[in-house]
Amino acid sequence: MAIENKAKNTNLIKEEAKRLGFMSCGMSKAEFLEEEAPRLEEWLNKNRNGQMYYMENHFDKRLDPTKLVEGSKSVISLLLNYYPNEFQNPESYKISKYAYGKDYHFVIKDKLKSLLQFIQNEIGEVEGRAFVDSAPVLDKAWAAKSGLGWIGKNSNLLSKKAGSFFFIAELIVDLELEYDTPVTDHCGTCTACIDACPTNAIVEPYKVDGSKCISYFTIELKDELPNSFKNTFDDWMFGCDVCQDVCPWNRFSKSHSEPLFDPHPDLLKFDKKDWQEITKETFNEIFRKSAVKRTKFEGLKRNINFLDS
Ligand code: SF4
Ligand code: SF4
């Protein structure tokens, strides 16, 4: 297969991505993200990263993939659906839907490795690096540039076809491909996410103050939770889905078909009392391979106590 055959190579990769279970795949030229640079700078200057200090690192590399992966030519963006088949007990403290099953980092990394292997087998000597929700890559900006959706007023990537309950990942490769074009914004006059955010973290359309977001508080913040936010967490003990749940584009979300994303049965069954009484042993059992492990047992307990007091 000729490595120069851009259109054919692009189609081959998109077909294989579909076969591996990704819901969409789009391509962008690897270059400096000019439009994102001032936005990221402003966000950091206003300390909207809270204690997520890692966001301040690698400023140049984040905006320019050719600085991150030497010789890179293209960014392949991929979406993987995580919308669940079954949901938590409505009488329970809530966990963000993306964290129901096995930690997505592992699931997606495996799929990206298979995709790179496929490219190397079918197209030729291609070097690439896989990224899943990793600090140096602005994954939403790349996915938008690749035509997979627009960045909505809640700052999530939204697609008319698929809503927003999906993971975003990238493969940065030194292979030229045919590039996609961005889609238009379909938020229109809607303000449902801004109106529903329990902590008013969407400070203006398209601008989320990360340091006020329940996801940040329940997952990233290492200190005590601030008393000024007491009774505002809407029973979320890990992450928050409110601004996605209310989004009209998620009304038709379809369930994923990835068995590894299915939750432990207790995660669905537990009510508030069960969570209040959870032991370290049960925590380890329910969240053995889950992203919830990031908070550790003590972190989840801290969140539950905050909701309970
Ligand atoms: S995740 Fe929750 S707290 Fe954060 S912006 Fe969305 S609705 Fe607000
Ligand atoms: S809730 Fe409305 S404004 Fe917010 S992201 Fe969805 S469509 Fe856009």
241-257 per-position pLDDT tens digit: 999 999 999 998 999 99
What residue numbers does the annotated binding site for tRNA cover?
222
Per-residue pLDDT, 136: 61
Of 64, 133, 174, 234, the catalytic one is 133
Strands (E), 109-253: 128-132, 150-151, 157-158, 166-173, 202-204, 207-208, 236-238
First to last CA, the chain: 64
Q: Which residue has the tokens 């309950």?
A: 165
Token pair recorded at residue 111:
């799929």
Q: What distance in Å separates the CA atoms of residue 136 and residue 64, rounded to the nearest whole number?
A: 10
Query: What pLDDT is recorded for position 294?
Result: 87
Is any atom of ligand 1 closer than 6 Å to the C-beta of 213? yes
Predicted pLDDT of residue 192:
98
**Torsion sign across C-alpha atoms 241, 247, 251, 252:** negative
Q: Is the CB of 242 under 6 A from ligand 1?
A: yes
| Contact of 193 with 153, CB cutoff 8 Å | yes
pLDDT at 4: 66
pTM: 0.92
The segments of the chain whose pLDDT lies below 50 read 1
- Is residue 99 within 8 A of residue 286, CB to CB? The reply is no
Instruction: Tell me if 166 sits within 8 A of 82, measured CB to CB.
Output: yes
Q: What tokens appear for 192 in the block?
A: 């449902």
Q: What is the predicted pLDDT for the residue at 138?
A: 86
**Best residue among 197, 247, 251, 253 to mutate for probing ligand 2, ranked by most atoms within 8 Å of CB:** 247
Residue with CA at minimum distance from ligand 1 atom 8 = 197
- Residues 77 and 81: their CA atoms lie apart, in Å, by 14
* Predicted pLDDT of residue 227: 95
Rounded to the nearest angstrom, the distance between the alpha carbon of 231 and the centre of ligand 1 is 15
What are the two backbone dihedrals, phi and then psi, of residue 260, each rounded to the nearest 5 degrees?
Answer: -70, -15
Query: Residues 237-275, buried b or exposed e (16+ Cβ, 10 A)?
Result: bbbbbbbbebbebbeebeebebeebbbbeebeebebeeb
pLDDT at 60: 77
- CA–CA separation, 69 vs 173, rounded Å? 8
φ, ψ of residue 167 to 5 degrees: the values are: -90, 155
Consecutive H or E run containing 14: helix 6-19
For the beta carbon of residue 173, count every other beta carbon within 10 angstroms: 28
Task: Verify whether residue 133 is a known catalytic residue.
Answer: yes
Instruction: Please tell me the predicted confidence (pLDDT) of residue 135.
Output: 62
Q: How far is the CA of 193 from the centre of ligand 1 (A)?
A: 8
Cβ of 75 below 6 Å from ligand 2: no
- For residue 208 and ligand 2, the question of a CB distance below 6 A is answered with no
Residue corresponding to tokens 């096995």: 102
C-alpha 242/C-alpha 107 separation (Å) is: 25
Nearest protein Cα to ligand 2, atom 4: 193
Instruction: Give pLDDT, residue 287.
Output: 95
The contacts of residue 265 (CB under 8 Å, 6+ apart) are none
**Known binding positions:** 62, 133, 154, 157, 168, 187, 190, 193, 197, 213, 215, 222, 240-241, 243, 247
Question: How far away, in angstroms, is 157 Cα from ligand 2 center?
Answer: 10
